[in-house]
Amino acid sequence: MSSFSTNTSKSARNRTALLAAAGALLLTMTSVTAAAADQAVPAADPGILQSGPIGWASQNGGTTGGAGGSTVTVTSASALISNMQASGPRIVQVSGTINLSGMNDIASDKTLVGINNARINGGGIDVDGAHNVIIRNITFAGATDDSVNVQDASTNIWIDHNTFLPGYDGSLDIKRESDFVTVSWNHFDGTDKTSLLGHSDSFSADADNLRVTYHHNFYDNTNTRNPRIRYGRGVHVFNNYYLNSNEYGIASTENASVLVEANYFQGVDTPTEVGYASSDPGDLVERNNIYSNSGTPNTRGSFVGVPYSYSPASASSIPSLVSNGAGVS
């Protein structure tokens, strides 16, 4: 069972050295079974990229991305697109700033990982009907649509240690029968429609899917959808830091089943909603959260449970742990 350290006091020099070592481990990794992923433990420095996901992306055979394939470094939009759309496993290292336009597909069995202050401007990544994809350590800014969109029955997707700056639409949408997803250690910085889970009230095909874990994310002066959940059963939101979420934190709607656990809400008038706008209510269970200068959570019903092992940190440690560790490293 995994555990989470609260040691956030290492120097920037040590963080850099440890990150380089973790990157080397990632690039040489060949397989992570579901059992091994359940054992994945963040390093003492939370900025380090761990070798496998915790949560739903560890199930259904696990998520290894491009492990076992070739490693390429890209510095242009054309090289990024051709390599992330190639067949077979591949680790695509994004170096520096790349300007994209529109939404760009990524194929199955890919790891997209940033190096050298990687940044994608203007366009977004479309995980559309793909399986076994990892996206990590990249800053996304100014998207004209979504920054990352996961849709059309995509499975085993891990979105980890990215920084999302404001764009036109959603920062990270997951919808249309996608499943087995982990969203971890991301920094959503001033975003508006932050993270939609579930396409629409009428898209009931999502009802047997959308199993997603959100952990150790920093919702930093975000507006709404942190996340907004429709239909998902077994959605697990733990150890996240909510700072001044302007409209609401988490919404459970359309018969979703959501556990909100050991998070820290600071300056959030409405931490949780059950039902939102025209959407019918879902279930939401809260436990062991801290509500600092925040409103009272809205709850309803029960939680269906999760099959994976995890060990959340205490909510009191989350502001320091997550603000120091979330986002690009």
Catalytic residue among 119, 225, 228, 233: 225
Counting every residue written for the chain, the total comes to 329
Cβ atoms of 220 and 243 closer than 8 Å: yes
DSSP 176: T
**Under a CB-based contact definition with an 8 Å cutoff, are residues 312 and 286 in contact?**
no
Q: Which of 164, 224, 174, 220 is nearest to 196 (CA)?
A: 174
Read off the tokens for 62. Answer: 């696990």
Tokens of 291: 């509500």
Count CB atoms within 10 A of the CB of residue 302: 10
- Identify the three-state secondary structure at position 105: strand
Our answer to whether residue 225 is catalytic in this structure is yes
- Which two three-digit tokens encode residue 29? 């990794």
Torsions phi, psi for 188 (to 5 deg) = -95, 105
What residues are annotated to the active site?
225
